Amino acid sequence: MLAFGPVPSRRLGRSLGVNNIPDKVCSYACVYCQIGRTLRMEIERKPFYEPEFLFEEVSKKVEEARRKGERIDYITFVPDGEPTLDINLGIEVELLRELEVPLAILTNSSLIWREDVRADLSAFDFVSLKLDAVSEPLWRKIDRPHKSLSLGRILDGMLTFRDDFDGTLVTETMLINIDYGDELERIADFLAELKPDKAYIAVPTRPPAEKWVEPASEETINLAYQLFSERLGGKVEYLIGYEGNAFASTGNVVEDILSITAVHPMREEALRELLEKNNAGWDVVERLLEEGKLIRLNYRGETFYMRALKSRKP
């Protein structure tokens, strides 16, 4: 299922997701990842799906959404791994332009030192770059990158990309329960140089890859906000709340549940609301759990349902 949603997004309004990377091929193994463990660490770009097939799948979802009166603010590449590992990304963007919907991508920034990756990213309307750390030890502790990657090259690549990109550029910094020392000050200094249109501060809101991971303290979150705001003239926003339950229905409730929860774990209340839209009962979820297609997890007092991908199995 290469397309899902539209789903509610705290950055992008109503977002139709594109899942262009299989579970879970990534250049990082972030401790807080909601998808789960990285199964294949990669930094070499390669083809994963035929661009024409991906375009057809996304087109179908767009047509279904429009037929049902569902608003789509962005088509967003937010897959089960790092989207820029897809060597066909540029071709896919070119094809998707036909749908006349703004295009967004959420990348971990790990390959932005490559000229071809920067060229592909420049074709998007909205690019979100991960910026969890600017010093090597914390970067390795939080993002657990492929051993061949260089943080210095990544940061330089981000600055080079900024110089040439005409669309909306944002950053996202995930804050977890570790000692940041003076790292937040360093990140703020880098943001001042990068000049994103907005810097987002996030905390884990869904079950993370590592059980020890919790959101940072309120003091840490507030300090980051103050430091980032000083450098960026207030262009800072929190991503620490719940995005809501406005998940779109296409009419096939099982397909909707499995495609959404493959990349977007759902709270129980959101799942119940989706079932209600489809005049379906909770027995649908119980059956998917029994068949081993869904798993149930608890995180910070909330119950979440996630597709039973290999990356999520103990």
The string of pLDDT tens digits covering residues 204-243 is 878 888 989 998 988 898 899 999 999 998 899 887 654 4
Considering the domain boundaries, does residue 149 fall inside one? yes
Query: What single-letter DSSP state applies at residue 145?
Result: B
Instruction: Say what the pLDDT of residue 123 is.
Output: 97
Q: What distance in Å separates the CA atoms of residue 248 and residue 215, rounded to the nearest whole number? A: 28
Sign of the CA dihedral with 295 first, then 298, 304, and 309 last:
negative
Considering the domain boundaries, does residue 290 fall inside one? no
Q: What distance in Å separates the CA atoms of residue 296 and residue 314, rounded to the nearest whole number? A: 13
Of 12-21, 34-43, 179-188, 281-290, where does the model show the most confidence?
179-188
* DSSP helix/strand/coil, 271: helix
Cβ-contact 142, 186 below 8 angstroms = no
The string of pLDDT tens digits covering residues 88-119 is 999 999 999 999 999 999 999 999 999 999 99
Please report, for residues 35, 46, 72, 161, 170, the alpha-carbon distance to residue 255 in angstroms, rounded to integers and kept in the order given: 18, 27, 19, 37, 32
Number of domains into which the chain is organized: 1
Domain that holds residue 48: 3-239
Among the listed residues 199, 313, 309, the one whose alpha carbon sits nearest the alpha carbon of residue 264: 309
The four Cα atoms 172, 177, 180, 186 give a dihedral, to 10 degrees, of 10
* Neighbour order of strands in the sheet with 103-107: 3-9, 13-18, 74-77, 103-107, 126-130, 168-174, 198-202, 236-239
The answer to which of 98-102, 103-107, 195-199, 304-308 has the lowest mean pLDDT is 304-308
Considering the domain boundaries, does residue 268 fall inside one? no
Over residues 161-181, the mean pLDDT reads: 96
Considering the domain boundaries, does residue 245 fall inside one? no
Two structure tokens written together for 214: 């919790």
The string of pLDDT tens digits covering residues 112-156 is 999 999 999 999 999 999 999 999 999 999 999 999 999 999 999
Considering the domain boundaries, does residue 288 fall inside one? no
Model confidence at 245, pLDDT cuts 50, 70, 90, reads: very low
Q: Where are the alpha helices (DSSP H) in the chain?
A: 51-67, 89-96, 115-121, 136-142, 151-164, 183-194, 218-232, 253-261, 268-277, 283-290
Quote the mean pLDDT of the chain. Answer: 89
Q: What distance in Å separates the CA atoms of residue 206 and residue 187, rounded to the nearest whole number? A: 24
Considering the domain boundaries, does residue 248 fall inside one? no
Q: What distance in Å separates the CA atoms of residue 248 and residue 7, rounded to the nearest whole number? A: 6
- The one-letter amino acid code at 250 reads T
The string of pLDDT tens digits covering residues 25-69 is 999 999 999 888 888 999 999 999 999 999 999 999 999 889 888
Please report, for residues 71, 132, 242, the alpha-carbon distance to residue 238 in angstroms, rounded to integers and kept in the order given: 24, 14, 11
Q: What distance in Å separates the CA atoms of residue 29 and residue 93, rounded to the nearest whole number? A: 26
Among the listed residues 29, 45, 257, the one whose alpha carbon sits nearest the alpha carbon of residue 147: 29
Considering the domain boundaries, does residue 302 fall inside one? no
Among the listed residues 292, 311, 290, 294, the one whose alpha carbon sits nearest the alpha carbon of residue 303: 294
Among the listed residues 124, 142, 131, 125, the one whose alpha carbon sits nearest the alpha carbon of residue 193: 131
| CATH number of the domain within which 204 lies | 3.20.20.70
Considering the domain boundaries, does residue 244 fall inside one? no
Residues written for the chain: 314
* Other CB atoms within 10 A of residue 24 CB: 23
Q: What are phi and psi of 4, to 5 degrees?
A: -150, 155
